[in-house]
Amino acid sequence: MGLYRRIKKRKDGTARKSRVWQMCYMVGKSQRCESTKTINRRLADRIWNKRIAEITEGRFRLPRTSAPALEEFSKQFLDSIRHPNTKKRYATSIVSLKAHFGDIELSDLNPEGIDEFKEARLADKVRAATVNRDLAVLRRMLKIAERKRLISYSPFREVEMLEERKERRQPHIWTVMEEQRLLAVAPDIIRVLVILILDTGLRSGREALALKWEDIDFSDDSIRIMQSKTAAGIRNVPMSNRCKAELLRWRKLLGPAFSEFVFANPQHPESPLKDVRRAWPKALKAAGLPTVWWIYDLRHTFASRLTEAGVSPIFTAQIMGHSSANILQTYARAINEYKRSAISKLETYREDQCAKQENQNQQVIQ
């Protein structure tokens, strides 16, 4: 038992040693040999020692059958994903994975090959964040394969994700003056959407645009988010007076029978609007603002304003749907009351900023 390198014969009759280390060990009364999938001797020693420890402690499980190919397993993996947006995102990564690895068997994937994938993607000028999304999909697939005993272990035990924080775009935090310039010229649908996100912190796509009228309780001044990115996103969000008034104005403008969705597709009212990719930059341009600003920045602005208004970061995260699952449910009533207080602080903060801006404008005129 131990580590060794295979001797391969060339076509001319000569022999050479393979660079990849193999390991041999006993499982019960049977001898088993497999590749460590690495050319690094120290790493191979670690893998072999870990395998011996797993066997000694009874944690090692032999694969039930031969490992499936990437093409076959990726189809099964995508079929298990329920959310259509998540499935679409994963499918994009799988296309990149198959373009590099081909129809490789899952058992043939190794840390060196995954590192080569990272280098190849970066050489193609792909952002580190995008590469990490691809790696995350592959890691999840291999984790499932390991759990189902289709492979002995996942090579991601020896793989590190890329550093992406330096590449991340810094969000633009909107000033009250910029907000007023946009609202003064924006079409009604953009105006309502902007106020909704600025005063509630909803995610623009999965929450705000998918919002239904039945999810809004005007008597209780709250919005119920029924579907979200995470389980923590299922929440009640209090409405500010401005947000409530704007939504009521919008509903009256559309008519109650137009659609069940707050932001319905004009051509197909039975379905929600998917995005505002065309209307958003047009509104920014009309307001004389940079058209490269993202609508998602409004959500960052909401968080920033709550913090400046003195709201606790914990409750800010809960209002935005980022609360952790270990929050005690016994404090739910206190949390809801604090959320309402937080929205009141936000509204007071916005009004104070508007008053300051008005004073500055009057001083300039004088």
Residues 225 and 331: their CA atoms lie apart, in Å, by 20
Q: Given pLDDT bands bounded at 50, 70 and 90, which one contains residue 327?
A: very low
DSSP state of 171: P
Alpha helices in the chain (DSSP H): 41-56, 70-79, 84-101, 111-123, 128-147, 176-185, 188-200, 241-254, 279-286, 297-308, 313-320, 332-365
- Alpha-carbon dihedral angle through residues 277, 279, 280, 282, given to the nearest 10 degrees: 120
Q: Given pLDDT bands bounded at 50, 70 and 90, which one contains residue 80?
A: very high
73 contact partners, CB below 8 Å, separation of at least 6 = 106, 141, 145, 150
Q: What is the mean pLDDT of residues 161-168?
A: 78
pLDDT, residue 43, reads 87
pLDDT, residue 256, reads 72
Tokens 């206190």 map to which residue? 334
Residues 23 and 33: their CA atoms lie apart, in Å, by 6
Q: What is the mean pLDDT of residues 332-355?
A: 74
Q: Given pLDDT bands bounded at 50, 70 and 90, which one contains residue 329?
A: very low
pLDDT, residue 116, reads 93
Tens-digit pLDDT profile for residues 217-244: 999 999 999 877 667 778 889 999 999 9
Tens-digit pLDDT profile for residues 25-35: 887 777 778 88
pLDDT, residue 366, reads 66
Residue 205 three-state SS: helix
pLDDT, residue 309, reads 85
Tens-digit pLDDT profile for residues 177-193: 999 999 999 999 999 99
Q: What percent of the residues of the chain are helix, what percent strand, and what percent coil, each to the nearest 5?
A: 55, 10, 35
Residue 188 and residue 197 in contact, taking contact as beta carbons nearer than 8 Å:
no
Give phi and psi for 222, each to the nearest 5. Answer: -145, 160
Q: What is the mean pLDDT of residues 130-136?
A: 94
Residue 215 and residue 224 in contact, taking contact as beta carbons nearer than 8 Å:
yes
Res 134 pLDDT > 90: yes
Tens-digit pLDDT profile for residues 83-132: 888 899 999 999 999 999 998 999 888 888 999 999 999 999 998 989 99
Q: What is the largest CA-CA distance in the chain?
A: 96
Q: Given pLDDT bands bounded at 50, 70 and 90, which one contains residue 151?
A: confident
Q: Given pLDDT bands bounded at 50, 70 and 90, which one contains residue 324?
A: low
Q: Which of 298, 329, 72, 302 is nearest to 205 (CA)?
A: 298
Residues 291 and 296: their CA atoms lie apart, in Å, by 13
Q: What is the mean pLDDT of residues 321-345?
A: 57
Question: Residue 211 CA to chain centroid, in angstroms?
Answer: 20
Q: Which of 7, 25, 5, 28 is nearest to 16 (CA)?
A: 7
Res 7 pLDDT > 60: yes
Give me the domains of the chain, ranges plus CATH numbers: 19-60 (no CATH), 70-167 (1.10.150.130), 176-365 (1.10.443.10)
- Between strands 222-225 and 216-217, the pairing is antiparallel
Higher pLDDT, 297 or 256: 297
Tokens 């040693």 map to which residue? 17
193 contact partners, CB below 8 Å, separation of at least 6 = 204, 208, 209, 263, 276, 295
Q: What is the mean pLDDT of residues 261-266?
A: 92
DSSP state of 208: I
Tokens 């749907």 map to which residue? 321
| Mean pLDDT across the chain | 85
Residues 26 and 12: their CA atoms lie apart, in Å, by 35
Res 303 pLDDT > 90: no
